[in-house]
Amino acid sequence: MAKQVSRNPVQSVGIFTKPHRSDDIRHILETLLPWLEKKGIAYYLDMEGSKTFPAITGWKKEDIVHQSDLLLVLGGDGTLLAAARVVGEHQLGHTKSIQPPPILGINLGNLGFLTEVQTSEIFDVLTRVLQGHYTTEERLMLMTRIIRHGQSITESHVLNDVVINQGSKARLVEFDIYMDSLFVTSLKGDGVIFSTPTGSTAYNLSAGGPIVYPEMEGIIMTPICPHTLTHRPLLLPDKIRLEILIKKGDSVIVTFDGQVDFPLVAGDLVEITRSPAMTTLVVSPDRNYFEVLRDKLKWGDRYQS
């Protein structure tokens, strides 16, 4: 469950910004940066954000994570997903277990399942957070390795999902799926989604997969337009190892969090396990998950003609 605790006051804030939204970002930063300075809070702005303020030095995202007590994401869910991957890599880059900085998302996008704080709430929420009074939730991540000819050729950690599907060609993908070396099924179709509970309201939901409470621990497997209509979404334990053997398909790709693509060929093995990294999100104490669902998915609304 969400943890409401009192922590040490925040002394430094890292700021990740959404690319290509310079007007919105500038409008927020013109007020936010002087506000932080007045409170004696050090801040580290990413390279993209610094383009709107040339006088301020931009920082690499990896260095920002190392310097910050809190990460402030100005953007949509996609911006937060990218930040979560950077934080995850930072955790895994240390030989000893470290406590990653929590992420507070400010919604400049559309749905905002992850970036649930609205721009009008920034300073009220930040005031409480900087004093160390805030609620957090830990979300599991997935680790994916691509194995080709017995060698691992790439690795990625995601907060939302791993998707295997056809690239630009409308042809079937064919692959075998194994769980802890046990054969699960052969699947033909447009592809398959492996989602975390956090990502259950993303592509997984659009493909007919279930909504899973985000603090649950599990992996959701959802076929995309399967050739055999009896294939249905499957909820699996988080401590398993999934292996997907690509058997047939031209231009097959694996996509991490809907943002990073990697091409696959027949014979490739995609290995998916729970990542040792975790994402810690700052959540609003005044808004629970079901309120977010009702708001974003319009549950209970009646359509008027």
Rounded to 5 degrees, φ, ψ at 208 are: 90, 10
Residue pLDDT, tens place only, 12-32: 999 999 887 778 888 899 999
CATH top class, domain 141-276? mainly beta
- What is the pLDDT, as a whole number, of residue 229? 82
Q: How far apart are CA 281 and CA 210, in angstroms?
A: 22
Radius of gyration of the chain from its Cα atoms, rounded to whole angstroms: 20
* pTM as predicted: 0.90
Q: Which residues are catalytic?
A: 77
Check: CB of residue 259 under 8 Å from CB of residue 78.
yes
From first to last of the 305 residues of the chain, give the pLDDT tens digit.
455 444 568 999 999 998 877 788 888 999 999 999 999 999 999 998 888 877 788 999 999 999 999 999 999 999 999 999 999 998 887 655 667 899 999 988 676 788 878 888 899 999 999 988 888 999 999 999 999 999 999 999 999 999 999 876 667 899 999 999 999 999 999 999 999 999 999 999 999 999 999 999 999 999 999 988 889 999 999 999 999 999 987 789 999 999 999 999 999 999 999 999 999 999 877 778 888 888 888 887 765 55
CA distances (Å), 279 to each of 139, 158, 179, 190, in order?
5, 10, 25, 30
pLDDT, tens digit, 9 for 90 and up, residues 38-49: 999 999 999 988
CATH, domain range 3-131: 3.40.50.10330
CA distance 69 to 173: 44
Domain ranges in the chain are 3-131, 141-276
